[in-house]
Amino acid sequence: MSEQAKYDVIGKDYNDTRRPDKRIVKLLVECLDLPAESNVIDIGAGTGNYTKTIAELGHFVTAVEPSAEMISKACKHKNIEWKKSAAENIPLSDAIFDAAYCTLSMHHFANLEKSLTEIFRVLKPEGKFVAFTTDPRRSTQEFWMPRYFGPIYDRIRKVFPTTQQLVDKIKVVSQDNSIEIIPFPIPYDMEDRFFCSAWRYPEKYFNPAFRRGISHFQVADQAGVQEMLNNLRQDIDSGAWDKNYGDTRSRNLLECGYYFVSATKRL
């Protein structure tokens, strides 16, 4: 199955598990700091769960998404216009948006440098770019998921640049030397069920419906995924997981490597 086909599979049930989380929305809105009725572009919009939250604030959002399946399940709103396109080749004119953002989509970009160049091309001077993303190297040492999902983390470390590498790439295209990084420790009760969202509840990873909305599971070798899950199940049943990581169940926040990055187009 091709990468695009896998994302089309994810799109079929995406809205069941990938609902916008109010804390992500709050920080996204604060970072964007938009004047009323701004023109905004959402890159890698998925089915538009976060797109709609911005549109409902009175802004006009162009949602760019390469998956036809995602777009077919997309949120409808009078302030949203959908464009089927990859981030590397945005079919829009220069300098037309007040702001741009993406939420957990940069790892889907085939070419990060080209995508960032395109994003800043369509931004107006002094336009803001905000991304919610992750760097697995930032996670706390007691985090259990790299231990049980090691092969997936091997891929994640290859796909996601370090925070500094991403900042350096953004500096080149934005000419902004004061890029802001805002850590986002993950609350235990996330509405948006992305990869690390169930860190407090390892049993949730056995649910196929939960995993279907997470690209890291869909692009992985499925026999390998089952082996990882079997190892996790064995340690939960034997009590080994709770012996090593049981304190996790009483925590409200955990540093899993997620963060916001915010930059301004200075060209």
Q: Does a structural domain hold residue 46?
A: yes
Q: Does a structural domain hold residue 9?
A: yes
Residue 67 DSSP label: -
Q: Does a structural domain hold residue 211?
A: no
Q: Does a structural domain hold residue 99?
A: yes
Could you tell me the pLDDT band of residue 165, with boundaries at 50, 70 and 90?
very high
Predicted pLDDT of residue 11: 45
Structure pTM?
Answer: 0.93
Exposure string for 222-245, b = 16+ CB within 10 A, e = fewer = eeebeebbeebbebbeeeebeeeb
Could you tell me the pLDDT band of residue 18, with boundaries at 50, 70 and 90?
confident
Distance CA 49, CA 156 (A): 24
260 and 130 Cβ atoms separated by less than 8 Å: yes
The residue segments making up the domain with residue 34 are 3-139+160-197+256-264
Radius of gyration, alpha carbons of the chain? 18
183 and 248 Cβ atoms separated by less than 8 Å: no
Q: What is the pLDDT of residues 89-144, one digit of tens each?
A: 999 999 999 999 999 999 999 999 999 999 999 999 999 999 999 999 999 988 99
Q: Does a structural domain hold residue 231?
A: no
Distance CA 95, CA 93 (A): 7
Residue 17 pLDDT > 80: no
Q: Does a structural domain hold residue 28?
A: yes
What is the average pLDDT across 158-185?
A: 97
Q: Does a structural domain hold residue 18?
A: yes
Largest CA distance in the chain: 59
Q: What is the pLDDT of residues 55-76, one digit of tens each?
A: 999 999 999 999 999 999 998 9
Q: What is the pLDDT of residues 21-43, one digit of tens each?
A: 999 999 999 999 999 999 999 99
Tell how many helices (H) and how many strands (E) occur in the chain: 13, 9
Predicted pLDDT of residue 4: 52
Residue the block writes with tokens 């216009």 = 81
Q: What is the pLDDT of residues 196-214, one digit of tens each?
A: 999 999 999 999 999 998 9
Q: What is the CATH number of the domain that holds 57?
A: 3.40.50.150
In single-letter form, the type of residue at position 226 comes to Q
How many domains is the chain partitioned into structurally? Answer: 1
Q: Does a structural domain hold residue 223?
A: no
Residue 34 φ/ψ, nearest 5 degrees: -85, 140
